[in-house]
Structure 1
Amino acid sequence: TAYKFKDDKLSCAVLREAVEYIALLLHPFTPHFSSEIWEMIGHTEPVTDELWPVANDACLKDEEVLIVIQVNGKLRGKFSASPDVSKDDMEKMALADEKVKSFIGDKPVRKVIVVPGKLVNVVI
C-alpha cells in the first residue's frame, strides 16, 4: 500500500513521481480523472501543459543477458553475462560449463558458432 511510504522521504518522492507519470499517461483516455489526480498531488498548472514523458535510454539497457549454450543444435545449458561480452569470452564460458563438457566428452570440437549476446553452438 501507499501508506508504508509516508514516513520515508525518498520513497515518498518516488511514489509521487510514479503517480505523476500515471496521471500523464492516463490523460488522453481519462482526462477528468487524471486532472483530478494531478491536482490532488499538488500541481497548480493543468496536466495538459505538461510534456509527454520520454524514456531514459540508459535505464532501458540490460545489465545482464541470458546466453544459451547448444551442443549440435540442442539446448544444453545457459549462463548470464554482460551484454557487451566478447565472442571469445562467450566461447570460453560455454566450453567451461560442466554440462557442456559432459556432452562433448572426449570428442573433438569441430566448430563453435557464437552469436554475440544470444547463443553459443558447439558442433562436435
Structure 2
Amino acid sequence: MGDFATVTDVADRFGSTLTPEQDKLVTARIADAEALLQTEVPALAGGTGGLPVITLANAKRVVCDAVLRPLRNPAGLVSERSGPFEVTFHAEALAEEIYFTADQLALFRRRRRVGVVGVSGPRWLAV
C-alpha cells in the first residue's frame, strides 16, 4: 500500500479493471514512483503527515500518472506517421522507467515571489 496512491486509485484512472498481472505490476510501480517522488521532492520524504490536502492530491495524481504511462502505452510510442513511415519512441518509456515531467515536479516546488522594490528620494525632499 502506497503513501500517496493505491492500486484502486490507479485502476480508477485507468478506466477498466486491471488483470491480476497488471495489479501486481501496479503495486510494485506505485512503490517505485513514490520512492522517486520522495527523492525528487524532499518535502514529501516524511510521508503524508502534516502535508496540506492539495499537496497530497497532487502527489496522488502524479504517482498515478507515472504508473499509468507504461500501462496505457507499453511501447512508449510518441508519434507515428504513415506516409514516410516515421515512428518515434520516448527514451524513458523504452526502458519502462518511472519518470516525472518537469511540469509535474513544478507542482511541488515553492514559488518565490518576485516584486518591485520602490525607490524614492530622501524623506526631507518629499519626493
Query: Normalising by the residue count of structure 1, what TM-score does the alignment of the two structures yield?
Result: 0.26
**Larger strand proportion of the pair:** 1
Q: Which has the higher contact order (CA 8 A, sep 6+)?
A: 2
**Larger helix proportion of the pair:** 2
Higher gyration radius (CA): 1
